[in-house]
Structure 1
Amino acid sequence: MEGSNQAREIAIQTLRQFSFLVFEISADEIITGVWSKDSAEDASYQHRYLNTPLADIANDKIVDISRQYLRHALETGESKVIEYHTVFNDTPSRLLIRVMPASYDLKRVLSVIEVIKDEEKTDIIEDKWRIALDATGDGMWDFNTLTGKIFFSQKWHEIFGYSETDITEMDQWNKLIHPDDLPAAKKQFDLYLQGLEPVYTAEMRYLCKDGSYKWILSRGVIAAYTDDGKPYRFIGTHKDINIRKLQEKLVEESEKKYKILFSYSEAMICTHDLEGKLTTVNPFINKALGYTPEDLLGKSLADIMPAGVRHKFYDEYLPAIKTKGTAEGIMHILTKTQEPKTLLYKNYLFSDTENQPYIIGFAQDITERIAAEEELKKSVDTFSSAFNHSGVGMALVSPDGKWLQVNDALCDITGYSKNELMDLTFQEITHPDDLEADLDMVNRILNREMDKYTLEKRYIAKDGKVVWISLTVSLVWNKNNTPRFFISQMVDITSRKTLTNELFKKNSELEAAQQSLINKIGQLEELSYIIAHNLRGPVNNINMLTEILKVKNGGNSTDENALLSSGAFTLDEVVNLISDAGSSLNASLESLLNIAQIRINKDIPLDDCDFVWVLEHVIAQLKGDIVEKNVTILKDIEIAEVKYPRPYLESILYNLISNAIKYRDPEKQPVITVTTGMDKGRVFLSVKDNGLGIDLDRYGNRIFKLNQVFHNHHDSKGIGLYMIKTQIEALGGQIDIRSKEHEGTEFIVTF
């Protein structure tokens, strides 16, 4: 795009040097640009004509003819001139309107208006127009003396074989001009700067990238001046005149030099008369086709052509070269062994010193190239067949993600038609969670860090369903090392992914069940230990009291402790102690039974629990302690309800709030904050206080164990936290603690 814009600028800048006005007109006859010889007047003309239909300028014959010539230029690529006489600035003048195609845009035409004074010489006019017309074509250059930079058009690079970055400065250009031609080129440039020549013109040889020299015709004009009137920008054209110079050389050089060229050329060279009879052939023809000069001289060139194409030689080739003076194209020839060959030729009509016409021909054997092109075509056809009929999705994708070509299998995978996909990019149908990884791979290929990549990703199909694919991508590069397009292959793996996910889910469930079983075994072992530990004391106490009772009743006992202690108690005291021990044993059994019931029961009914209602219910139960201890309870209820067994929720809140009251800091006003909310999609409950706190570094791994007490308190048994942890985990939840000594404690229950 940048080269096209610069080519447009050069063409316009050149044309306005010699013209009164330059119009740029689109194919639908709309004026898309207008420039004056005096750039200060551009704004006025643009205001008047820009975006105006050509037919609206004037309703006269000149406009009608211009419209006809515009269509002719678009259809044929040829220019036409309209001329009429008028009076301009009180001076009789001729007005020339040249309608020509704009080479930088095949859908636009340039209409150039030039005022020619009657006394201006025709040869000067034509010389100016030659450079102007050349500037609208290829092979352009643009040199800035202030920066030392020089720009060349794409065609220029094709002529000499250099890339856009090989030559960017004038010094580089000068070094590649043939040393024998440089003085003359500089002399012509000086003559132009002195005003002695209307246009800078010089013929010179230029060193091509392949090491050969090529003749060019260089023309140029001054395009801009500095504020102090010094020229600083030059624009012009380089025209390939190598063939013409070779022709001139053939005529001008001595017979010896001609014979050297003729004899040692690695191209087939021959001459023939206007009837096609060969008059000379160079030695390379023998090497290429096997014929000796004696085999060919005096024979028609058509005699060594296949019979089926000989008529084209007489009906098409000879009439064309006689009329146009040149002919080029493909010619089919048979070797001496009757092997068919395909030649690429370019022939010219000349006259000898006696003004007798003859044709000189140059040809190269392109048989192998044609065969390679046919093989390439077969490869392309094979790829096209594989692409269109493949059972997996395939696509060609532009470097920016646009679908260039898609097959039916990809349409089946995504649910889109080909036309619908071509209006989208792959980014638009890629699942958002997979796009970043995909684009990272694309960038790595563009940076040549890898040749291809494969990944599993998701598409969003037309019906909104998620489709899993295995994607393999490679990149095709242009000859100039720019990315051309990606080749993408997609295999639908949705079914495989579904089965894999289901298997993963089942494995996870199995692992969870295994872990749950391990936890249950551990819990049962812990429960067995707790039962043995908690019942041993009460049972031993009852046994001893029973022995004392036997002694009191006059019986015998083998327990020495009972014998020694029997005198310390009355009979009623012993009976009361046995009763107390029985009550303690019953309380321990009740607690252990509740714990076992929580761990075993899996079918606990769930209730729609209102946090506020349950909290108020618990506060009512603890009202006496709350009033007595002057406790403030704050509520921050963001989530109002949770589906949970109401007795469990009441037990959790009761234990946590009663503990917060029990372990308050006597130096502070007790404040308890109850909060509910949502974190990562799960409801949580927080009970936070400003009490004594717990040293987690010391007791952290024992917080939720049974019979653990961390503060001296007359009714602390170390059962409450163990109980609520058991309740919470039985329903798949968890409880966490945050605490600092003398600052307070927070319990967070995640349901």
Structure 2
Amino acid sequence: MSEIDIQKNLLSVVKYPIFRIDKHGVILECHIHKDFNALPFTGNLVGRNINEFDYLPNGVDVIKFCLDNQKSEVTYFSVPEREGDGRYFEVEIEPSSASEVIALVKEITNRKKREAELIQYYNLIQDIYQGTASSTGHAFLDHLTRQFCKAFNGDYSFIALFENEGLSAVSFSTYNKMLENETFDIAGSPFEHLHHQEILSIPADCQLVYPTFEPFKKYDVQGFIGIPLFYPDHQDKPAGVMCVLFQKYYHTFQHYEKILRIFSTRAITELDRIRRTKQLEESEEKFKALYHNTPALFNSVDAEGHIIEAGDYFLETTGYTREEVIGKMAFDLLTPESKSYGMTKVFPEYVKTGYCKDVPFQFVKKNGEVMDVLFSSVVVKDNQGNFEKSLTSLQDVTEINKRRREIIRSESRVSDDAQRLQSLFDHSPVGIIIHSKGIIKKINAEAVRLTKAKSAKQILGKSPMDFIHPDSHEVASQRIHNIYTKKTAHKNEQKFICMDGSIIWVEAMGTLISFEGEPAVQIAIYDITDRKLAQEKILENEKNLKHLNNHLTRQNHQLEEFAHIASHNLRAPITNMMSLIQIKESDQDAATELFVWENLKKGVANLDETIVELNEVVKSSWELDKRKRKVRLSSALNKILASIKNELLESEGEIESDFTAFDEITYPKVYIESILINLITNGLKYADPKRKLIIQVKTTLHDGMKRLEVKDNGLGIDINKYGSKIFGLRKTFHNHPDARGVGLFITKAQVESMGGTIRVESEMGKGSNFIINFGEG
């Protein structure tokens, strides 16, 4: 095959036109594939100059530039067609000699169209964001609705919310003007059965498909596109829809789904902001009531640092009147040292972050008394993001700091004692033996004397068990093992065999230490033989005294426990009655008065019953274990729910109960009621505002043992962080104003005093489950 034949075969597979052109623009040779169809490339082109083609005005200049620089060049041209849409081409020019070039022509019409669509899509997105950037609320929604109509070339568009059985428009427009909002029936509409994020689309004949839907009839609609709107916290149920209506048939276009979702996202974001703003306004009055009535030191400060609000508890605790603190600089109420620290260190950082927590200050009360406080504050901004005020809370930690200082002094004394003990190691009148890995490594002079050895060499290298009487071998081995594994000191009295075979009684104290870089046991011993009999008598007396002391301790514990029970069991009905009185004072309606009096009667009855029961406990001299009786858990729960009825209504929560496993238990009734009220009110306090509160109370049987579970879907507790502290006294894990850290402590004490156990399973953001094992079948 000749070189010419090879060249022809290669050219036959190239689909784009190829030209050989001289430096003057004359076409010397061309090859156009038989399947290539383009108007500029018809007829005989060889011998023609490219200047003859008006769509290539600069073609010769590009060829000359390519030849002068001897490098590739690219140029573009377009050719209009009868339909009005042009065709676009790209020309790659490559020098083949000093006076000729090779030109390869590619059609790029489709690529140009895609670029144009992307530019149009980008401009549309810019219009959406620029048009709504400076507006909020219904003005924002109106602008968004008009842009929505324009984007889809629609005749009408609207944003509507589902209300009762209707669809209420919040923004209704054509492409250039707003219309009056209307409400439509959902029945017989495309929105009767919506699925999550389902795009609704009917290109034509809407009135035939939905003949009774009012907007389709009223505005002669033939086609429509819509998308449901979901609030972020209610993804299971649509809040509304966003639609565009067409009086003629319509055709979808590229990226229309993306554009539809952009519009819907902008719409639901603003609708959710409007909804939350309204909720915030409705809760403002409730917040004010909490602000003044909650036992916490609340106050508010303006941008210059002046106090503009002060809670009632703040005034009660500090001794000031409201007139004395309003308008006063907040820092002026601190000691000079705290004021300087606050203004130079805390305030500059607070201005940057808008938040601070648990900053230690010293606050001066009106009577001059200095109070240690932890200062926490957060900036409150208005709808435009401007500073409105600072909401401040002061936590009185005076007593806590006092206890902390006492602990520090105690730790210092312990450190001094440790140094003295180290000094006594070499000079102690008590015998000291150090052994490691079962071998005695070091002893002091007193130990040599006690063992009746001639010198330390007789003892070093021996096993400490050689000096332990066989009767004590097993106990001694276990204690040595415990010292190594548990790293705690062990003290014991045992028989000791001296080097001459005589036996003495010694008291030994074993401690884990580090000796020559290895774990070792240091044993301090001294002879107690002469006083063993006297000690045994003392121990007997101590045993009797201990029994008496335990009896007194138990009575004291029961007294404290009774005080806590009385406080907690009386607090709920009293709080409920106070809330009912506030309702009566705010609403003089006869029906309200009847409701209040009926519930007050119930509250008083429950309060009376609780007082009678507590009085019975007093009469029985706190011997609660002898006051066990059969208690119906369902009855106890009903009584508790009646006493906290108002709190349940305010929380909008639900209490579910299941006593199928068992409903009756032999137990002190006052304990059962105390346990239930503590765990249920605990769930109410720490409800998650993102979802409806549900508290489940149920009984189960496990291995023949009765169990009570109280489960909620509230905020939950970080078990990894607070697991060992959950049932501690005055331990709280959320910033709730009513948190005292007492209820769970009392509950654990009550359960364990009756031989039971309590534990908790919890996860942050999911809730908590308290499980009580009663310890009876």
Answer yes or no: same fold by TM over 0.5: no
| Structure-1-length-normalised TM-score | 0.25
| Structure-2-length-normalised TM-score | 0.24
